[in-house]
Amino acid sequence: MAGLTPILAPALSAALTDWLAQQRALKGAAPNTTVAYARDVNRFLSFMCHYLGESFGLARVAAVSQSDLRAWLAAERARGLSPRSLARALSAVKGFAAWAADRTGGDATTVLSSRGPKYRRKLPRPLSEEGAAAILTEIGGDAHQDWIAIRDTAIATLLYGLGLRISEALSLTGASHPLPTTLRITGKGGKTRLVPVIPTAAEAVDAYVQACPFGLAHDQPLFRGARGGPVNPRLIQSAMERARLRLGLPATATPHALRHSFATHLLSAGGDLRAIQELLGHASLSTTQAYTAVDAARLMEVYEKAHPRA
């Protein structure tokens, strides 16, 4: 089973294509999410076709048994999938089974009630307030041109000061300048949110615009590469990596860690969890709640240092 080729019969393949189209159109699934869904459901359907040894059509999808599901999960585990990836795959299968049941009049209760493997969520790895401030100062330290140093500082300031993802910062266009007091951001799944703009971020972007040697049309990227094209995220990741090495910060000091730092430091300062959820654009409060665990862990670390055990 581990080496089966995930090729589906035309009818099932067409059904999967239709379901994926619905995920994109109605639920705003991001491209990477859609690719993962396609891969997971494709492997599930291919496994069932081989495992059951019978004609496996759309009507049969919702009727698979718990033992069928356990066999599939066992095969995926044997293939090396982590508990987290297995849980994601099962979630995708549940979505497809529910859709199939709706189309064929079947009952997907067995599939939908199946529990995935438990796994421990990785806690976000924020920087300290001092570390985040040091990155903003140092990230442009080895840039070949002054305006690129100013650009990298502006981008890092948006990540830390506004809690943006790097993709969101780099998707800003010339129409975003000057930054308004509240910025409308389109995030994952096409969801929009309003983010207050702190003066430091507005000033950093102003400084970049003044230094940038390229004209910034309203419909063109705000942040430009050395040749005038859009900035590749890898350039910012590399600049951050070099800065953290100079500062002696851990390998977890990535651009996304600045977004984690924004949330963690806001929470430490008494920020409301629901408000932070809105600012980050998290669909579920449970995702934002991970920052409470980080805050508690940091509190215990301070406590241990202040009250060392004998």
The DSSP code for 289 is T
Asked if residue 300 belongs to a domain, the reply is: no
Residues 21-40 have a mean pLDDT of 81
Condensed to tens digits (0 to 9), the pLDDT of residues 234-285 reads 999 999 999 999 999 988 888 988 988 888 887 776 766 677 777 776 556 5
Asked if residue 219 belongs to a domain, the reply is: yes
Look up the CATH number of the domain holding residue 30: 1.10.150
Asked if residue 170 belongs to a domain, the reply is: yes
Share of the chain above pLDDT 70, in %: 82
Instruction: Provide the token pair at 9.
Output: 């019969």
Residue 42 near residue 12, CB atoms below 8 Å:
no
Residues 50-54 have a mean pLDDT of 76
Among residues 92, 289, 282, the alpha carbon closest in space to that of 187 is found at 282
Residues 153 and 250 in one domain: yes
- Confidence (pLDDT) at 230: 93
Residues 151 and 104 in one domain: no
Q: Count of domains in the chain? A: 2
User: pTM (2 decimals)?
Assistant: 0.62
User: In terms of C-beta density within 10 A (0-12 exposed, 13-18 middle, 19 or more buried), how is residue 12 classed?
Assistant: buried
- Secondary structure (H, E, C), 157-214: HHHHHHCCCHHHHHCCEHHHCCCCCEEEEECHHHCEEEEECCHHHHHHHHHHHHHCCC
- Confidence (pLDDT) at 136: 94
Asked if residue 273 belongs to a domain, the reply is: no
Structural domain of residue 48, as residue ranges? Answer: 10-112
Residue 255 near residue 159, CB atoms below 8 Å:
yes
- Confidence (pLDDT) at 271: 67
- Confidence (pLDDT) at 133: 92
Asked if residue 146 belongs to a domain, the reply is: yes
- Confidence (pLDDT) at 281: 65
What is the rounded radius of gyration, in angstroms, for the C-alpha atoms of the chain?
A: 24
User: In terms of C-beta density within 10 A (0-12 exposed, 13-18 middle, 19 or more buried), how is residue 38 classed?
Assistant: middle
Mean of per-residue pLDDT scores for the chain: 82
Largest CA distance in the chain: 69
Residue in this structure with the two tokens 């064929």, named with its chain if needed: 104
- Confidence (pLDDT) at 84: 81
H or E element at residue 238: helix 233-247
CA distance 220 to 13: 38
Instruction: Provide the token pair at 246.
Output: 């100079």
Annotated catalytic sites, by residue? 165, 188, 256, 259, 282, 291
Look up the CATH number of the domain holding residue 207: 1.10.443.10
* C-alpha distance across the termini of the chain, in Å: 56
